[in-house]
Amino acid sequence: MVQRRCRYCERAFQPSKFQPGQSVCSESACQRRRRCDNHRRRIASDPEYQQVCQDNSRKWRTRNPEYWRRRRESHPAIVERNRQQQRVRDQRRRLRNLANNNSAFDLKHSAAQVWLVGVSLEHLANNNSAPAQVWVLETLPPRRGPQTESCQQQRSGIHRVSAG
Angle between helix axes 67-74 and 76-99 (nearest 10 degrees) is 100
Which of 15, 27, 53, 130 binds Zn ion (CB under 5 A)? It is 27
Pick the closest to residue 30 from 53, 49, 12 (CA basis).
Answer: 12
Q: Which is nearer to Zn ion, 27 or 53 (CB)?
A: 27
Q: Which is nearer to Zn ion, 26 or 154 (CB)?
A: 26
Which of 2, 3, 5, 8 binds Zn ion (CB under 5 A)? It is 8
Stretch touching Zn ion by CB under 5 A, among 30-38, 47-55, 78-86, 103-111: 30-38
Q: Which is nearer to Zn ion, 26 or 56 (CB)?
A: 26
Which whole-number Å values give the CA distances from 162 to 3, 92, 159, in the listed order? 62, 32, 10
Pick the closest to residue 136 from 161, 158, 104 (CA basis).
Answer: 104
In whole angstroms, the minimum distance from the beta carbon of 37 to Zn ion comes to 13
What does the alpha-carbon distance between residue 133 and residue 115 come to, in Å, rounded to a whole number?
Answer: 9
Q: Which is nearer to Zn ion, 32 or 143 (CB)?
A: 32
Q: Is-contact 24 5, C-beta < 8 A?
A: no
9 near Zn ion, rule: CB under 5 A: yes
What does the alpha-carbon distance between residue 89 and residue 92 come to, in Å, rounded to a whole number?
Answer: 5
Stretch touching Zn ion by CB under 5 A, among 7-15, 46-54, 100-108, 113-121: 7-15
In whole angstroms, the minimum distance from the beta carbon of 33 to Zn ion comes to 8
Q: Which stretches of the chain bind Zn ion, using CB under 5 A?
A: 6, 8-9, 25, 27, 30
